[in-house]
Amino acid sequence: MRNDIVWHQSLITRGRREQQNGHKSFILWFTGLSGAGKSTLAHRVEEILHEYGCKTYVFDGDNVRHGLCSDLGFSLEDRSENIRRIGEMSKLFIDAGVIALTAFISPFRQDRRLVRSLVDQGDFIEIYCNTPIEICEKRDTKGLYKRARLGEIADFTGISSPYEEPDDPEMTIFTGEDGLDVCARRIIDYLREAGKIRHGSQ
């Protein structure tokens, strides 16, 4: 950390922003294999939250690599840096009073722990999209698993690079078994019971 840079504290606090928005701000961190349904589920949850009047934004793995992380590859070091940047960006969003939903494979426990450590307790909600690789491969609309099996893609999670399952996620969603709306409603119910949102109103 450079000692010639000082954090400037905003006059408008996170608490005031949350009060104006009518809900808490936090990170919903969707993790799982490619094809596990992370992005689809994150966007469905966002849609429901939007209908409730919540301020939200989804950070999608592919989208982020078009801009913020376009300079990164898929080496172990680059993957860690990718997650670090998203963690820092998500931290800024929750300070702005926004619910940040992130859909990233984020295969390494250490990287996910780092993001958790950036924010206060209760601000990081890890959602493990637990889907067997066999199902993920059947869903392979982008043809990535096939290319990885042929050796055309190096460091592909689940094939030539490991995925470390979460030790103790806040939620485990079986996206290979349950339908999209069932999975989304489970998450919404969790948020309501945790006092993060209020159903249908500000």
Coil, strand or helix: which one is 98? coil
pTM (2 decimals)? 0.90
Radius of gyration of the chain (CA): 17
User: pLDDT tens track of the chain, all 202 residues?
Assistant: 566 666 667 779 989 999 999 899 999 999 999 999 999 999 999 999 999 999 999 998 677 777 777 878 788 888 889 899 999 999 999 999 999 999 999 999 999 999 999 999 999 999 999 999 999 999 887 888 889 898 898 888 989 889 999 999 999 999 989 999 999 999 999 999 999 998 654 4
Is 4 inside a domain boundary? no
Coil, strand or helix: which one is 27? strand
Is 160 inside a domain boundary? yes
Record the tokens describing residue 151, joined without a space. Answer: 């050796």
Is 3 inside a domain boundary? no
Is 94 inside a domain boundary? yes
Give the residue numbers spanning the domain of 151.
21-193
* Count of structural domains, the chain: 1
149 burial class (0-12, 13-18, 19+ CB within 10 angstroms)? middle
**Is 106 considered catalytic here?**
yes
Task: Tell me which of 106, 117, 161, 201 is the catalytic residue.
Answer: 106
CATH code of the domain covering residue 177:
3.40.50.300
